[in-house]
Structure 1
Amino acid sequence: MSLPASSALEAQALAKTWFYPFRLPSGRITPTYGQGELDAVHHTRSQMLDALLAREFPAARGGLSAVDLACHQGWFSAQLAQAGFGTVIGVDARPEHVADASLIRDALGLAQVQVQRSDVHALTADALGVHDLVLCFGLIYHLENPVGALRVARALTRRVCVIETQVVPGLTGWVDYGSYRFVRPLKGSFGIIDETGETHGPEASTTGICLVPSVEALCWILERIGFARVEVLPVPADGYEQLVHRKRVMVAAWVD
């Protein structure tokens, strides 16, 4: 006797190891890597996103749409759908992530979630549309062109974009720009991280060259590419240590 479709999907989800601890309709949690030591970062980011949603979108959300760039296995796409967004589009460059996000969508019964494969730099507002909320979590510090990806995010955003990223220490000071007579202030800095030996990994860069911004660089760039207001979001006191100690940040950027 075959299992009902929902039970079969749940069994399929439980049969593999995930990056995220998804709670399935039965109440069971998908197994995660190691001893679940990474679960805290996911829960902290979810808690911070929920706080922003409550502030920015307090009323009914059925008429709202969202895009989850680099959606990975669909953790935040599912969160947005469960929070009431009428349309959620998850986009990821890796086919295995598209497959996983599609499986978890079906296992959770979230028909409003669409999942598609694309490199972030190939996306356009003409093709994907403009959306009330755009998420860019865990992406830009794996890219060799993070500014280009942020420009794409801006083009897709109607109201607010939320970026979560690893950051590097910032540099300040003045630079002789061709001559001591012409100096320019540093607005921030980028660190170069080598992932060239890890491009096969599901959580790594697809090209291996990673430019990681400082907080100052990220906020300055967001304002220069067309966001009207930028805010570094507060972290719960008991949150994941990297977010608490500003090794990672979550930044919201509003269109107006």
Structure 2
Amino acid sequence: MSTATPDREALYARALAKSWFYPLALPDGRPLASTHDGRVDAIHHTRARMLDALLADKFAGDRGALSAIDLACHQGWFSLQLARAGFGQVTSVDARDEHVDDAALLASIYELDAIKTRQRDVFALKPETDGVHDLVLMFGLLYHLENPIGALRVARSLARRACVIETQVVPHMSGMVDWGSYEYVRPLKGCFGIIDEVDETHAPEASVTGVCLAPSTEGLLWLLRAVGFSDAYVLPVPADGYEQLRHGKRVMVAALV
């Protein structure tokens, strides 16, 4: 039985009245409805475990003075994780108003004052107005963009110490390419796959433009160094982790400043 105040019960009622993309329960234990009946919960749990391992490795100790920004925060599940991990400031950013509202609702329900939400397009973010953060999170965003390189440049400009990117990837291509003449060739560093979401822009997990460029893993690592990160590497996946991450169809990459 809930012992929440009437104001908190009103917040709980708002959360209970809708479906959520992430595995969530209210502080009193009542589960929140899933948009997919829990079918994709495994990917969220695997991402969370991998993020926890990265935080223990690169952000050990007291994190109260640290800040993070969660790009395309969706409903704010990973923003919650960062706030619970002790980050003193977590900025949750998303292009869709409904996602920002959901993230703000969760922050209120769980009384995580460290989380501040903002409705912004990722390409409008600038360090002068949006700050430079110890950690930049970019989960499930890159492969929904038609300008993924521009997004990586934004991420680098906002990062003080590290950026963690989780993305779908496509098969790699390598070899030499004639560059204007057969006498002048250049090595192929990576590739992008073009994915069509033109008829799905209404979907809350889809691209806002419908044109998506998904990188190869090798291309993504090369690009992260090219936009100014000092190093980039693929994070290890738990043996029982989500199958796409285990088999390299998705990757989680750490990029260090």
TM-score normalized with structure 1 length: 0.97
User: Which secondary structure state, in structure 2, belongs to the residue aligned with residue 205 of structure 1?
Assistant: coil
Partner of residue 109 from structure 1, selected from 94, 108, 111: 111
Structure 1 residue 3: Cα displacement: 4.9
User: For 1:1-41, what per-residue CA distance to the aligned partner results, in whole angstroms no more than 9, with x for missing partners?
Assistant: x9522232122212211001123211233211232011111
After the TM superposition, which of the residue ranges 7-16 and 245-254 deviates more from structure 2? 7-16
Which runs of 5 or more residues in structure 2 are unaligned?
A: none
Decide which of 245, 248, 252 is 1:246's aligned counterpart.
Answer: 248
Q: Which amino acid aligns with 2:106?
A: I
1:89-100 to 2 correspondence within 5 Å? 89-100=91-102
1:166 counterpart residue number: 168
Match of 1:28 among 23, 30, 35: 30
Partner residue in 2 for 1:13:
15
Contact kept? 2:79, 2:92, Cα under 8 Å: yes
Whether the aligned pair in 1 keeps the contact of 2:93 and 2:117 (CA below 8 Å) is: yes
CA distance, structure 2, for counterparts of residue 23 and residue 55 of structure 1: 28
Between the aligned partners of 2:183 and 2:31, the Cα distance in structure 1 is: 62
Aligned to 2:183: 181
Task: Say if 2:74 and 2:99, in contact at 8 Å, map to a contact too.
Answer: yes
* Partner SS, residue 197 of structure 1: helix
Deviation at 1:126, TM superposition (A): 0.3
Letter in 1 for 2:187: P
Moved more, 19-28 or 151-160: 19-28
Could you tell me which amino acid in structure 2 is paired with residue 68 of structure 1?
D
What secondary structure, in the 3-state scheme, does the structure 2 residue paired with 1:90 have? strand
- Kindly provide the amino acid, as one letter, of the partner of residue 206 in structure 2: A
For residue 76 of structure 2, what is the amino acid of its counterpart? G
The answer to whether the aligner puts 1:150 opposite 2:152 as a matched pair is yes
How far does residue 250 in structure 1 lie from its aligned partner after superposition? 0.2
Following superposition of structure 1 onto structure 2, how do residues 220-239 of structure 1 map, counting pairs within 5 Å? 220-239=222-241
Distance in 1, Cα, partners of 2:182 & 2:230 = 33
Q: Is the 8 A contact 2:21 2:36 kept in 1?
A: no
In the other structure, the counterpart of 1:86 is 88
For 2:68, the equivalent position in structure 1 comes to 66
Q: Which runs of 4+ in 1 moved over 6 A?
A: none
RMSD: 1.1
Task: Tell me which of 186, 190, 193 is aligned to 1:191.
Answer: 193
Shift of 1:183: 0.4
Distance (Å, rounded) in 1 between the aligned partners of 2:8 and 2:228 = 44
Alignment length (residue pairs): 254
- Which residue in the other structure is 2:202 paired with? 200
Which consecutive unaligned segments of at least 5 residues does structure 1 have?
Answer: none
Of 5-14 and 47-56, more deviation after overlay is shown by: 5-14
Write out per-residue CA displacement over residues 53-102 of structure 1, whole angstroms, 9 at most, x where no aligned residue: 01111101100000000000001111100110000000000011011111
